[in-house]
Amino acid sequence: MADPATSPPLSRASVQAARALIAPYVHHTPTLTNRTLSLLASTARTREEMLERGGGQWTKVDNPASPKLRLWFKCENLQRVGAFKARGAFHALGRLLGEEGFERGRGWLRILVVSNHAQALSLAAATHNVPAYIVMPEISTPSKVAATKGYGAKVIFSGSTSVEREAAAAKVIEETGARLVPPYDHPDIVLGQGTLGLELQEDAAQMMAEQDQEGGRCSFAAPVTKTGDAAAGSKKRKVGLDAILAPCGGGGMLSGVALSCEGTGIRVFGCEPWYQGADDAKRGYESGRRVESVSTLTVADGLRTPLGRVPWHVLYERKLAGGFYSVSEREICDALRLVLERFKMVVEPSAAVPLAVALYNEDFRGMVEREAGPEGWDVGIVFSGGNVSLEALGKLFADAEEGK
């Protein structure tokens, strides 16, 4: 990996530069709206609904919140390799290829990846004709292994523990001289992932402006009181997002999105499951001490990773995150079902976590109701990926119905 000391500064301008570097290789994914989901998010829940979804922590809420939320969905499930990770992969490899020495000796550069972002780096390596070695646990799903090999990467199997994976990676480095590319805890990865935040901000603002010209941006959401009209000299409503909700595992994408919003007034919030302590970022943020290990089997398997050092610096030390919110397993499954049934779109469980926060987390919903008032908020929701099999979805919903 490129030396972090040579990376661009962690800033919005650097995210913009990263976008220019990776533009030829990644999709500008769509930003979409959904009237039904915005209406549901703008409706107060009953105590019975809270209990049914496993949100028992909210049963003492006297007056469930009914914030006005207009949701804007960034569909990274339609990104190459089915997830946002392609952005960080192409940026990290592009920066590495640009290092002094690698320009002249590009043919001998080799990269090593430990499975977390195997497909994304395999694609980036294949695109730049760079040999890639991928260390994957022997228990990896066959479809993921097949996809990784399909991009031409050499897969090395290891045990499932981090110690076993690190030992396998060390052996590959010793034998090949490959450069290790981390999945999230590096400035180049963070900056690449943050490019989705720029697109979301710009696309949502353009769509709002177009809706206002057509007679009201709220055509897909709950009614919102306008502040007057131009003829009366009143100010028009602000065009742009008020906040973005994004999933948080290792934090590379969330911290990149936070950087993309720096200085814009857009607030960024991290979203996690709370099952078996999966809300490590939330606990660390509130205690002031980063949680360094997590052991959880949450259905949001992409969020089982502890927050990395570089993301912690951006999100906590620089205070670029407005806070963190967590949800139950049932709430994640219910949000996922709504995306499938009402949006007609396939996303993975991790991607449904921000929507679950908007729909079910009373702390977040109450905060919006207090701070936004009757005008409400325009909230970006990051659908981080769609890498889930039909078999896995079927089992997930069956288990949810059985209360597992």
Q: Encode pLDDT of 305-333 as tens digits.
A: 899 999 999 999 999 999 999 999 999 99
Domains 12-83+189-402 and 85-185 share a fold: yes
Domain ranges in the chain are 12-83+189-402, 85-185
- Please state which of the ranges 34-43, 157-166, 370-379 shows the lowest mean pLDDT: 157-166
The continuous run of DSSP H or E covering 380 comes out as strand 377-383
Average pLDDT, integer, range 32-54: 85
Do residues 246 and 324 lie in contact, with contact meaning Cβ atoms separated by under 8 Å?
no
pTM > 0.85 = yes
Q: Residue 4's pLDDT is what?
A: 78
* CATH class (in words) of the domain with range 12-83+189-402: alpha beta
Per-residue DSSP letters for 274-336?
-GGG--HHHHHHHHTS---------S-GGG-SPPPHHHHIIIIIS----EEEEE-HHHHHHHH
Distance CA 331, CA 342 (A): 16
- Please state which of the ranges 15-29, 155-169, 342-356 shows the lowest mean pLDDT: 155-169
pLDDT band of residue 300 (cuts 50, 70, 90) is: very high
Q: Crossing angle, helix 195-213 and helix 85-97, to 10 degrees?
A: 130
**What fold characterizes domain 85-185?**
Rossmann fold (3.40.50)
